[in-house]
Structure 1
Amino acid sequence: MTGRPEILFPLFAGLETLDGVGPKTAQLLTQSGTEAPRDVLFGLPYAVIDRRRRDTIQGADLPSTLTVEVTVGAHRPARNKGGAYRVHVEDAQTEFQLVFFHARGDYLKKVLPQGARRVVSGKLELFDGMAQMVHPDHMLPVESAGDIPEFEPVYHLTQGVTQKTAYKAARSALARAPKLAEWIDPSQIGREQWPNWFDAVTAAHNPLGADDVSPHAPARARLAYDEFFAHQVTLALARQRERKARGIVSVATGRLQSRVLADLPYKPTGAQMRAIDQITEDMASDARMNRLLQGDVGAGKTLVAFMALLVSVEAGGQGVMMAPTEILARQHLEGLRPLAESAGIVLEILTGRDKGAERRAKLEALQQGNIHILVGTHAVFQSDVAFRDLRLAIVDEQHRFGVRQRMELSEKGQGADVLVMTATPIPRSLALAQYGDMDVSVLDEKPPGRKPVKTAVISTERMQEVIAHLQRAIDEGRQCYWVCPLVDESEVSDLTAAEERFKRLRAVLGEGVVGLVHGQMPPADKDAAMKAFQEGQTKVLVATTVIEVGVNVPNASIMVIERAEIFGLAQLHQLRGRVGRGEADSTCLLMYQPPLTDGGRKRLEILRETEDGFRISETDLEMRGAGDLIGTAQSGLPKFRIADIERQAGLMATAQTDARALLAKDPKLTSDRGRAVRVLLWMMRQDQAIRLISVG
């Protein structure tokens, strides 16, 4: 499969091969991301205008777009420059006016000669009791009125391109749409009663009413599914390739796991046990594990991760756990230490700070197999770091760890199983789009003993009360986070907001009580400020959102979030999860600047109602859309032209199941359906997938 199949050539020709598209229009389209007739074909209309002809405008609900045959009457030119030029017309039952501004009278007299029959189509409105059609869209002699479509599709326009041009280009792209072999599973087509691809794309550009432009119209649902399916086939090919890279068989003996479970002061939740079983099973197979462990704040991911690491040690090998920052790596170390002591194994940390003799000693111990579990930052990936027998790599908190990075990780060729952990509950549809090549375990129960966090919504006008409340809490020996917003993208203002708040609180609460952390600080200062707070030297930590991920201070029981209305829901939920980790009752104060918009109020209320991260993220998705939820730029989310991740989540799940089933039967895509899928991948520009097939 060397290059694009010939049947698709017309769809990838130059834009100027389309009717009505000259060099200038082609340039405008290219700038907006439309590069070939294929893109015009996938730019479906978003609305439809009913231009069916009627005898009279009598009885129509105005304003509306109407098409009617009329006899042209008297012309009344404008009295002043730029005024209204009016033409009286009569249909079968009544009369109305055509109105033109900045009109050229001689032109209008030629197009609309008095006494002639014309078909006019346009928006008709009542103005001072008189029905008027201002600048009709069409005015044609009766014999050429067949050119007016009965239902006219309305396209999203690029600046400088008119509806007429867009319509013409779409017709022309449609004329070269090829008839393609079917790539969707026949039983799926039958169940949904979907048309074939050619009929679907034809129907989508010829809507016969509002229902036909809704995402649930059969033609549209089918085309959306094609996009999801092409994307999921790409992910499934990546997954197949990873699994084919022989995994290491690591069979648990339970020897170490049972010690840890016996020492735990609580019983693991059902969800934790389920995840541990799934991971243990994956690690015992010879296919490589590529699993996502999704758990809400405080759902007990650390225990599950440690149990997985123990499988690799029980099987005679080593495990590594990677965190994005040094401070998080140290925190994992603290969290795992008591568990490692129960199991009686050697746990060590490696970060960029390790230098000289100490670093050499650690590397030596790692290579000898004397370190069982290593916690570290990406320093673990440096070329001089060698394990004796690495069996499992756990990657923490990586939205920033897309399919491509996972493939690189596997290309280190060690065949180690991979577990990615995230504390951000991602709605299922997004998890499928972003992590569709992975198997997913979800921790959706809270371990016993975690206290709920009381959440209150409060106006910034009550700042004094909040500070007084804080003073009392500090006197009782409690600690507090105070989060300042990133006011805008320029880091300067983020800094000033945090520094101003820091100065104000320090003035009220006293020197040495308040610490400050923000994105501009050198890493060493940041670590020092975090450490002083962790050790309880400072009682209040003023911070921008750098504290969002991971940091654990059990004694902190108050979280104040300023301007909460400008944060994302998921982010607020993450921040709130920083408190409620110790013995004390915890509070989260969401401070907003009035007046609140309806959306802002609704978002803060859902936080007050629930601590269920999945429910919160579903609401977030409905309210903000997928791109915002994970920051489109770094989300690794594909750009779909027709499909809508938020409204068609069910289709995404079906596409994943189908893509995996197809590759299980036809891993090289050589069957008839497999070959049809190759054409789909070329049409959808899934270059990565095409490379995977050609090397596979």
Structure 2
Amino acid sequence: MNKLNQTPLQEVHGLGAARSKDLNALGIHSVSDLIEYFPFRYEDYRLRDLSLVEDGEKITVQAKVYSLPQVQRYGRNKSRMTCKMLVDEQHMITTVWFNRHFLKDRLIAGKEIILSGKWDRKRQTLTVSESEFPGSNAPQTGALQPVYSVGGSITQRWIRKIIQQALQQYSELITDPIPATYSQKHNLIPRKQAILFIHRPQDASDGTEARRRLVYEELFLFQLKLMIFRSMSRTKADGIQHEFESEDVRKFVRALPFQLTDSQKKVTAELLSDLRKSYSMNRLLQGDVGSGKTVVAATALYANFKSGYQGAMMVPTEILAEQHYQSLQELFEPYGLEIGLLVGSLTNKQRRDVLASLQSGLIDIVIGTHALIQEKVHFRNLGLVVTDEQHRFGVNQRSIFRHKGFNPDVLTMTATPIPRTLAITAFGDMDVSTLKELPKGRKEIKTYWVKHNLMERVLGFIQKELQAHRQAYVICPLIEESDKIDVQNAIDLHAQIQEVLSGYKVGLLHGRQPADEKEEVMSQFSENEVHVLVSTTVVEVGVNVPNATIMVIYDADRFGLSQLHQLRGRVGRGQDQSYCILIADPKSEIGKERMRSMTITNDGFEIARMDLELRGPGDFFGTKQSGMPEFRLADLAHDFEMLEMAREDAAELVRSDEFWTAAKYLPLRELLDKAQLMEKELD
């Protein structure tokens, strides 16, 4: 549609300068934009048989005026007009118009009229929203009508008319960028037909086929952009080509106190292969809570060390940094690696020593928080960066590491499972590895949903676990009382639980506490000096207390599914059976569905899929996620299969020599070039 991109709006008959400005405000600047301004739903104006219509449905019927209309006025300039109508020569109904008294003189006995509105079956009454007289050439009669996003002076009727006018003038210029091979492979209708159908379907199947064709195109072009960018970046030998002996890594893995799962072995092989390549690795490792991401990252860090380079691991909290520091020290002690810790709470002297050791190369692997990316931190030869819980860091923060060495390899990890097709889209410039298995012997967390009136029994259950020298979390959504949301708050709940469990120490943790106070509370909980931790969601990430066996989530319906799953993952880390108890009285169906979903599965990827369906991709990723594209038609919550199809096709096309040279692909290459898709990614 290159030519239509350059055709100004005012070339459309009946479209002047003033209305062109109104369309500009909607993001419509050319004829191409106008034709591709797709509806978001349809109104059904097809005539219906009243005997088949359910109560409350919106319907369209053709009727005859039976009696003179009666007008009642009330309030200021308000009116209610009623009139008897005969439908299909069978049904006598009452029709009601609000503030349409000007129609009174046109409602003549015996005159035909078409009415649309809400049907009250019990009262045999139609509340009219739209009406028209046959012969008035009004476009909605007897059809599915598109509904567009409009604003300002633009009405639905006008934009329908102007889009139809544009299609009448320019539909012959609509070109198809999708190679015929893929259109035939997936049985897609031609692009021109799809655009005509989506704006004016004759029936529901027209709209479905049109949407399917255009969604594929949208996803195919997006995936093609990603594939081209990836292909271009892979041709640049701008990274570190690590050299290490495979046998050294195998010995390291064999010496681990446990066997790797098949999933861990597969992902480890992918990472080691990346390290040996001449371009910079950029891989996302996602895995459910407890799936063993850290040991996979540790194996990559060991291979990086054996090839003569330093490694770094950045995590979101000091608690998590210290936990990784201790575990990696134990793991690497037999191999003589020097592990460093760089966090904000270090003394000035400790910090100076770590910085000097990093710069001189005395530290082989450093673990730290965002303190690692500060300007004064210099490495001797940084080769691999691991960022844990990557969504907690901004894109800019992660990219700073690129300048701390000679384009070091980057591995980002997350315990927030994302359906693979979405991960591929959201992190399109990354390769994606997924850990789906849990280590053998790990007991499944038992999850229960109870109402608030059972809180006393829940506290009794907690007490039994405490008597067995175990610990518990109690999570609630707010810190203090709120007039706006009637939910339990952490401060009040802490006081109540402390009173009931008076023989035990109950700690309090929330986001408004000073950092050193939070660290102290978590340290006490880790050492079993605090037996019950009442907390807001600050424990969602970065807490590993194997002795904790109970996770109670108060007002659980206030949380999203993925967040509930993350909180549940704080327990089940030891040998004892663990439990998650959801306390909620949800009023909405979505709230009830969340609770049911949590009790039927512990699979984080299944939870993520359910969460996506309930909330949609925008809420799923949150406003901080900069990688998610905005599509005109595609809905990533429901178009998974189409996304995967488009990705496979785009990958196949980019791998072929024909795509880069053959004349038949020239229009597609020009489209990508004119849209400056690659340049946007490379900037």
TM range (shorter): 0.7 to 0.9
Q: Counterparts of 1:511 and 1:347 in 2: how far apart (Å)?
A: 40
Amino acid at match of 1:377: T
- Aligned pairs (5 A) from 1:145-294: 145=137, 150-158=142-150, 162-172=155-165, 174-175=167-168, 176=170, 179-213=173-207, 217-245=208-236, 246-254=238-246, 256-294=248-286
- Residue 558 of structure 1 corresponds to 550
Change (3 A) 1:95 1:576: closer
Q: Counterparts of 2:287 and 2:483 in 1: how far apart (Å)?
A: 31
Cα offset, 1:599, TM superposition: 3.4
1:691 aligns with 2:680: yes
- Residue 645 of structure 2 corresponds to 654
SS at match of 2:44: strand
My pick for the range that moved more, 410-419 or 370-379, is: 410-419
Cα offset, 1:402, TM superposition: 6.9
SS at match of 1:426: coil
Amino acid at match of 2:193: D
Change (3 A) 1:241 1:522: farther
Change (3 A) 1:193 1:488: farther
Cα offset, 1:243, TM superposition: 3.1
Amino acid at match of 2:535: A
My pick for the range that moved more, 468-477 or 176-185, is: 176-185
1:392 aligns with 2:381: no
- Aligned pairs (5 A) from 1:410-425: 410=402, 414-425=406-417
Q: Is the 8 A contact 1:77 1:85 kept in 2?
A: yes
Change (3 A) 1:249 1:155: same
SS at match of 1:442: strand
Q: Counterparts of 1:230 and 1:419 in 2: how far apart (Å)?
A: 27
1:9 aligns with 2:6: yes
Change (3 A) 1:98 1:358: closer
- Aligned pairs (5 A) from 1:571-586: 571-586=563-578
Q: Structure 2 unaligned segments of length 5 or more: list them.
A: none
Q: Structure 1 unaligned segments of length 5 or more: list them.
A: none
Q: Is the 8 A contact 1:280 1:311 kept in 2?
A: yes
- Residue 601 of structure 1 corresponds to 592
- 1:277-320 per-residue CA deviation (whole Å, 9 max, x = no partner) reads 11111111213222111111111111100001111111121221
Cα offset, 1:612, TM superposition: 1.4
- 1:470-517 per-residue CA deviation (whole Å, 9 max, x = no partner) reads 223223221111111248998998998111111122223238711111
Amino acid at match of 1:430: L
Cα offset, 1:27, TM superposition: 5.5
Q: Counterparts of 1:494 and 1:337 in 2: how far apart (Å)?
A: 46
- 1:127-177 per-residue CA deviation (whole Å, 9 max, x = no partner) reads 889787846532143xx5485565241304546754313422432454556
Q: Counterparts of 2:128 and 2:195 in 1: how far apart (Å)?
A: 34
Q: Is the 8 A contact 2:342 2:367 kept in 1?
A: yes
- 1:511-531 per-residue CA deviation (whole Å, 9 max, x = no partner) reads 871111111112121111111
My pick for the range that moved more, 219-228 or 192-201, is: 192-201
Q: Counterparts of 2:171 and 2:577 in 1: how far apart (Å)?
A: 64
1:620 aligns with 2:617: no
Q: Counterparts of 2:28 and 2:503 in 1: how far apart (Å)?
A: 59
SS at match of 1:277: helix
Change (3 A) 1:591 1:112: closer
1:457 aligns with 2:435: no
1:376 aligns with 2:371: no
Change (3 A) 1:585 1:88: closer
Change (3 A) 1:517 1:148: closer
SS at match of 2:545: coil
Q: TM-score, normalised by structure 1?
A: 0.84
Counterpart of 2:629 (choices 638, 658, 661) is 638
Aligned length, in residue pairs: 673
SS at match of 1:451: coil
My pick for the range that moved more, 647-656 or 468-477, is: 468-477
- Residue 84 of structure 1 corresponds to 81
Change (3 A) 1:586 1:77: closer
Change (3 A) 1:486 1:431: farther
Q: Is the 8 A contact 2:312 2:386 kept in 1?
A: yes
Q: Is the 8 A contact 2:35 2:195 kept in 1?
A: no
1:364 aligns with 2:361: no
Change (3 A) 1:236 1:112: same
Q: Counterparts of 1:34 and 1:179 in 2: how far apart (Å)?
A: 18
Cα offset, 1:268, TM superposition: 0.9
Cα offset, 1:394, TM superposition: 1.1
Q: Is the 8 A contact 2:445 2:579 kept in 1?
A: yes
* Coordinate RMSD, CA, aligned: 4.0
- Residue 42 of structure 2 corresponds to 47
Q: Is the 8 A contact 1:51 1:121 kept in 2?
A: no
Identity %: 35
Change (3 A) 1:328 1:93: closer
Amino acid at match of 1:554: P
Change (3 A) 1:131 1:530: closer
SS at match of 2:6: helix
- Aligned pairs (5 A) from 1:492-531: 497-510=489-502, 513-531=505-523
- Residue 470 of structure 2 corresponds to 478
Amino acid at match of 1:630: F
My pick for the range that moved more, 560-569 or 403-412, is: 403-412
Amino acid at match of 2:680: R
Q: Counterparts of 1:135 and 1:287 in 2: how far apart (Å)?
A: 63
Q: Counterparts of 1:690 and 1:588 in 2: how far apart (Å)?
A: 48
Cα offset, 1:636, TM superposition: 3.2
Amino acid at match of 2:600: E
Counterpart of 1:331 (choices 309, 323, 331) is 323
Change (3 A) 1:384 1:238: farther
Cα offset, 1:103, TM superposition: 4.8
SS at match of 1:618: helix
1:441 aligns with 2:433: yes
Q: Is the 8 A contact 2:150 2:156 kept in 1?
A: no
Q: Is the 8 A contact 1:85 1:103 kept in 2?
A: no
Amino acid at match of 1:582: G
SS at match of 1:470: helix
Counterpart of 2:314 (choices 322, 337, 341) is 322
